[in-house]
Structures are given as C-alpha cells and as structure tokens.
Amino acid sequence: MLDQKVKEYNQTFFIEKDPVSIPHRFQQLQDIEIAGFFAALFAWGNRTSIINSCTRLLNAMDNAPFDFVTNYKESDLKPLLGFVHRTFNATDLFWLLQFLKRHYAEHVSLEIAFAQFLHPLSTDVSQALIGFHNYVFAIPEAPERTKKHIATPAKNSACKRLNMFLRWMVRDDNALMTQPVDFGLWKQIKPSMLICPLDVHVGNVARRLSLLERQQNDWKAAQELTEYLRKFDKNDPVKYDFALFGLGVIERF
C-alpha cells in the first residue's frame, strides 16, 4: 500500500502546491540550494502562506538568490527590514544571509556545510545536522533567537524542515521522471542515510499503521520511523515520506 502511495504522490503534479515549488523556479545549483533552504525553513503552517512568504523574499532578491547572497550591500537589505514569516523575522533572515555569504565565499555548494561532518561510520545524517547547526552559529555574535530556526538532533528535535531540505537535495528520481520532485543534486550524502521528515501528520499516520511507537515527535521518533521504513527499502527509505504525507495531509487518513 505504501509503495502504491509513493507512486501516486511522487509525481510532477505534487510540485505546484508544495514548498518544493520554490527551488523548482531555478536552474542554477546555488539558486536551487538557497531558495530550497529558505523554503524548507519557512515550511510550517499553511502551504499557501509558506509559498507566499518565499515569493516575497525572492522578489526582494530580484529572483536571483545566489547573486543577491554573494553581492548584497547593507542598503540592499532595507526592503527586508519588515520581513516576517510566523516567528521568523528580519534578525533571523539577516544572520542567515550573512552565513550564506561567508559560506559561498569559500565553497561552491551548500552541500559541504552538511557533508563535512559525516564520517565513514555514519549510518544517518545525525552528525551532519548537528555539525551544520554549530557551523551556522560558530561566530559568537550569532543571535540567540535564530538558533531555534536551525534545528539539531543534539536537542532531540525532529529536525523536520532540515530533513525535508536534505530529501530535496539528495534523493534522485531523475532516471524515473521527466521532472522529479526531488532534485538529486548532492552526491556526498547517500539517500540511505536520510531521515524521514516527521511532523504531526506524518507521525499520526505512522502510528496508525504501526510504523512508529514513540509518542513524541522528536529525533528519536524520526530515527525509529526511518529504521522501520528501511525494512521496505534500505537504499531509499525516505521516499515513503510521499506516502505518509499524502495519506495524512491530502487524504486525511
């Protein structure tokens, strides 16, 4: 049943009304990474609201996020002073823009910001997410309030939004679909290492299907669910996110 639901929802039509539509507006690797990063960070609440907030941000970047991140001056930030998406505000945005500017000054891709923290014995992306959080906030001036927007397994967060971002960047359906939902652009992280994005809807469906026993939607629960999904496909367990999300959000299972 889950395999059938993956086939049903892992289709090009899924893109239009989902936050993944935001990075799909672009062709360049870095534009996709930056647009996807913010789309994932904003991905809680109503999907229409998420897409609208992303569109406002990209419009302020002249719909050229990589060029904006690498070349913006302080005066270019003035139109963003009032930017808000739920509890995410301009303070958070400006810090993350600074972080991205520093990172891309030294690296071609955002992938290394995660992959550099993996080691040969890593079985999932736990260390990548912990390392990424510490990397973003390595400078002492980092605003304390912004740290809650970059989740980490070190605090037992389910890290739903970052796991979704990694799914977009890592999973590769390019051989199967003309326009796949996930991009498959990053190659240093294996799809088998991904952790299923766990939110209220996915958690509820997983418990109803006896895929998950733990009651809290935290990192341990995300790992438990993913470990069960590996029984179905050890190389690509997170493809079942399409099935669980579709059942929970679209079908109200």
One-letter amino acid identity for 159?
Answer: C
Element (H, E) at 89: strand 88-89
Q: In this model, does residue 253 exceed pLDDT 90? A: no
Average of pLDDT values for 6-21?
96
CA-based Rg of the chain, rounded to a whole angstrom? 18
- Return d(Cα 253, Cα 245) in angstroms, integer: 10
Residue 215: pLDDT band (50, 70, 90) is very high
Quick one: which of 203, 173, 202, 197 has its CA closest to 185? 173
Q: 162-176 in b/e burial notation, b at 16+ Cβ within 10 A?
A: bbbbbbbbbbbeeee
pLDDT at 77 > cutoff 90: yes
Tokens standing for 80?
Answer: 């963003």
Q: Is residue 175 predicted with pLDDT exceeding 90?
A: no
Tell me the pLDDT tens digit for each residue of 103-125.
Answer: 999 999 999 999 999 999 999 99
Rounded average pLDDT over 175-202: 95
Is the sign of the CA dihedral 153, 236, 204, 168 positive or negative? positive
Average pLDDT rounded to a whole number, residues 76-101: 97
How confident is the model at residue 218, as a pLDDT?
98
User: With bands split at pLDDT 50, 70 and 90, how would you rate the model's confidence at 164?
Assistant: very high
Overall average pLDDT of the 244-250 stretch: 94
Query: What's the pLDDT tens digit per position in 185-194?
Result: 999 999 999 9
Contact between 66 and 117 (Cβ < 8 Å): no
Tens digits of residue pLDDT in 57-68: 999 999 999 999
**CA separation, residue 22 to residues 34, 127, 182 (Å):** 10, 27, 12
With vertex at residue 23, the alpha carbon angle to CA 126 and CA 198, rounded to the nearest 5 degrees, is 35
**Per-chain mean pLDDT for the chain:** 97
Write down the pTM of the prediction: 0.96
DSSP 8-state code for residue 248: I
Mean pLDDT of 213-233: 98
Question: pLDDT value at position 252?
Answer: 85
With CA atoms as reference, report the closest residue to 229 among 251, 252, 205, 253: 205
In angstroms, the Cα distances linking 74 to 57, 82, 90, 164 are 16, 15, 13, 31
pLDDT of residue 54: 98
Query: In this structure, are residues 214 and 226 in contact, taking their beta carbons and an 8 Å threshold?
Result: no
Residue 118 · residue 127 · CB < 8 Å: yes
